[in-house]
Amino acid sequence: MRLTKKTHACVRLEGEGGTLVIDPGAFTEEDAVLGADALLVTHEHADHFDESRLRAALEANPGAEIFTLRAVADKLGPAFPGRVHTVGHGDTFTAAGFDVQVHGELHAVIHPDIPRITNIGFLVDGSVFHPGDALTVPDQQVETLLLPVMAPWSKISEVIDYVREVCPRRAFDVHDALLTDLARPIYDRQIGELAEADHRRLEPGASAEV
């Protein structure tokens, strides 16, 4: 499949069966959802879920569908009956020609005083895993990990240990809009040296075959 990085947590996956977009949020380019046959949303935070973008995608393509958790589905489902599907940990489904498995249940801890919300990750074609805002480890081998490299809820040691635990063939950075240009070389060097995986970074708009 062809993976295209969009700004922050969003990626596009293109295969023979169609185009799948994961987590088009408020930091993501408005055209990130255009042409999508299916959209996956890991959780309700605005940097992963932008309701106006999803509505635009469904209106532009009458055949497009959304697969997400209940908090997001409840906001969109009434306006698009039969096209917004609620999924959770352990579910499997087909979207845009891709086989998808759902892993995970909770958002990472931001602070003990902040209640945790639901968060799900998506394993696409048994190969590419997007964990959303969590350090979920699927119970099977992952070829390509979409790595939430920088977030208010994580530190770099946790990011490195997460890559080690998942043990993917390669890891591409996502969740990186808040990472400054000054910090990027530090993250690149430390993750590259310590994570025990092929660590890569794509600029927004760049693509790779995975």
Tell me, what's the pLDDT at 69?
98
Residue 144's domain spans which residues? 2-199
Burial (CB < 10 A; 0-12, 13-18, 19+), residue 111, is exposed
| Confidence (pTM) | 0.97
Where residue 118 sits, what CATH number does that domain have? 3.60.15.10
- Section 104-124 average pLDDT: 98
In Å, what is the CA distance from 135 to each residue of 59, 81, 139, 207? 33, 32, 13, 24
Whether 122 is in a domain gets the answer: yes
Does 194 fall in a domain? Answer: yes
Which tens digit of pLDDT belongs to each residue from 27-73?
A: 999 999 999 999 999 999 999 999 999 999 999 999 999 999 999 99
Using pLDDT thresholds of 50, 70 and 90, give the confidence band for residue 145. very high
Q: What is the pLDDT of residue 125?
A: 98
Q: Is residue 103 part of a domain?
A: yes
Instruction: Please give the average per-residue pLDDT across 76-98, as a whole number.
Output: 97
Please provide the DSSP assignment of 3-60 as one string. Answer: EEE-STT-EEEEETTEEEEE---TTS-GGGGTT-SEEEE--SSTTT--HHHHHHHHHH
User: How many domains are contained in the chain?
Assistant: 1
If you average pLDDT over every residue of the chain, what do you get? 97
Domain-located, residue 205: no
Task: Give the mean pLDDT of 115-131.
Answer: 98
Element (H, E) at 92: strand 92-95
Residue 135 confidence (pLDDT): 98
Q: What is the pLDDT of residue 143?
A: 98
- φ/ψ of 126, rounded to 5, equals 60, 20
pLDDT of residue 14: 98
pLDDT, one tens digit per residue, over 155-176 is: 999 999 999 999 999 999 999 9
77 belongs to a structural domain: yes
Helix or strand holding residue 94 (H, E): strand 92-95
pLDDT tens sequence across 173-190: 999 999 999 999 999 999
**Is the Cβ–Cβ distance between 132 and 147 less than 8 Å?**
no
The answer to whether residue 204 is domain-embedded is no
Domain membership flag for residue 210: no
Asked if residue 183 is part of any domain, the answer here is: yes
Query: With the CA atoms of 176, 27, 23 and 140 taken in that order, what torsion angle do they form, in degrees rounded to the nearest 10?
Result: 0
Average pLDDT on 117-124 reads 98
Number of other residues whose CB lies within 10 A of the CB of residue 62: 8
